[in-house]
Amino acid sequence: MSDCFDRAPGAGRGQGRGRGGGALLSGSGAAESGSSGARLGGSGFPSSGPADPPHKPGFLQQQEPLRPPKTAPPGTGNAEHMPQTKVPPVSQDKIAAHDCGSAMAKPQLVVAPVATSKLSVNAPEFYPSGYNPSFTDSSFEDGCDGYPTLTEYVQDFLNHLTEQPGCFETEIEHFAETLNGWVTTDEALQELVELIYRQATSVPNFSYMGARLCNYLSHHLTINPQSGNFRQLLLQRCRTEYENRDQAAKGDEATRKQFHAFVLFLAELYLNLEIKGTKGQVMRAEILQTGLRELLNALFSNPVDNNLICAVKLLKLTGSVLEDAWKEKGKTDMDEMVQRIENVVLDANCSRDVKQMLLKLVELRSSNWGRVHVTSTYREATPENDPNYFMNEPTFYTSEGVPFTAADPDYQEKYQELLDREDFFPDYEENGTDLSGAGDPYFDDIDDEMDPEIEEAYEKFCLESERKRKQ
């Protein structure tokens, strides 16, 4: 035990290296392998059991190899052919020490795992879910290419306008040209009208954009079938909803919500749909004016909160235009509407907030719908017709220091006196420039050169300023 474990590191290696080095090299590889295997005992550290049997002549006993071979010599590939020696129990500290030495002596060959990739340069192009590669978000330059049906093309464009309404001016012309090449039958035109109507009455805040779109298409679509052009089919579609106004105003909440969207879309159509008259003048559709009047009656006949709120929105949007059109015909329909609003405020069981909205609407109408009157004829302002005529006039002072302006009755006399006193003052501008032409004796005597003391102080000031700036 003491010979194997208490030996100092490196002791005896010189002896083994000197005496047995040549003998080991002259021996066979099998004998060398057997001797080495016996000493290692199959466990990586020397054995302390019975003494090894004597070797053949010519072989010297090897105390310990310098280092374990990296590769086993021929004939030692199988562990079952190596001699087995019993290892007596030893302390845990010594076992740990030898295990560390063995681990340090044996090199660890780490082989990196080979990763097999499924990526390929020939793989198809990747698109996120829900992305349509044929749809360009900025414009519809490719027209209807990539769209199998008219419905998909029109619906995509309507959604595009909903998200980016600012693109209307730049893309509506190309959209109309594409429709002219696609909408060639009555069925296609009817489908186009239905798509725009549904978008304008189902998507919030699209009623204005839908009305503008309808106005543009009514003037630029070339198809004119016997069943009616675009504007006629659109008005027929609106008439279908209009005829059910009384039932819709009394219906459930979902029915009323859909009805209110139709009312606001019809109001936008009245403001934006342009119709050419018999003399070529641009005018609004009179049939829509009559329809809005009847829709207001249906809303006020069923004075629930959401009906009244819809009526307020309708009158705020079209009240001024409707009143002007009715006044041109000598009608007092707006006065009747205001009277109905006042009756609703007094009698209806609506909420307090809705009553406040109705009263604010009456106040808005009394102020001419917030419009400011501008005089049609221009008159030149005079002191007689403009009270602010002298507001921006300059103020002068007499010799006694009394201020006067052009509004004073004796302005001419005081101003002439002021002109007479100008002879006592030299003609100089604010910056001191002489405007009189002749030099002034006082100012001519002034020398432009500085006093030597002032000049010296000025030079010191400049040097000190330069020194502080460089610091």
Least-confidence region, from 78-92, 281-295, 319-333: 78-92
pTM of the predicted structure, to 2 decimals: 0.52
For residue 365, the tally of other CB atoms under 10 A from its CB is 20
Rounded CA separation 264/211 (Å):
10
Highest mean pLDDT range out of 26-30, 57-61, 100-104, 403-407? 403-407
Among candidate residues 60, 77, 80, 48, the one with its CA nearest the CA of residue 15 = 60
Q: Does the pLDDT of residue 431 top 70, yes or no?
A: no
Judging by beta carbons within 10 Å of its beta carbon (0-12, 13-18, 19+), is residue 35 exposed, middle or buried?
buried
- Write the CB contacts of 44 (distance below 8 Å, at least 6 apart in sequence): 68, 98, 99, 102, 106
More confident residue, 189 or 113: 189
Angle at 162 between CA 157 and CA 164, to 5 degrees: 90
Instruction: Give yes or no for a contact between 264 and 317, defined as CB atoms under 8 angstroms apart.
Output: yes
What does 49-77 look like in DSSP terms, one character per residue?
SSPPPPPPTT----S--SS--SSPPTT-S
- pLDDT for 340-349, tens place per residue? 999 999 887 8
Asked whether residue 470 carries a pLDDT value surpassing 70, the answer given is: yes
* Residue 137: band (very low, low, confident or very high) from pLDDT cuts 50, 70, 90: very low
- What digits encode the pLDDT tens for the residues 177-232? 999 988 989 999 999 999 999 999 999 889 999 999 999 999 999 988 888 899 99
pLDDT band at 423 (very low <50, low <70, confident <90, very high): low
Which pLDDT value is given to residue 69? Answer: 53
Taking residues 253-262, what's their average pLDDT? 94
Contact 325, 314 (CB under 8 A): no
Measuring CA to CA, which residue among 107, 262, 127 is closest to residue 200?
A: 262
Q: Kindly report the average pLDDT of the chain as a whole number.
A: 74
Residue 202's contacts (CB-CB under 8 Å, 6 or more residues apart) are 258, 261
Q: What's the CA dihedral at 274, 279, 280, 284 to 10 degrees?
A: -10
Residue type, 151: T
Residue 16: pLDDT over 60: no
Contact yes or no for 32/24 (Cβ under 8 A):
yes
Mean pLDDT, range 350-365, rounded to an integer:
92
**Look-up: residue for tokens 């509506």?**
172
| pLDDT value at residue 239 | 94
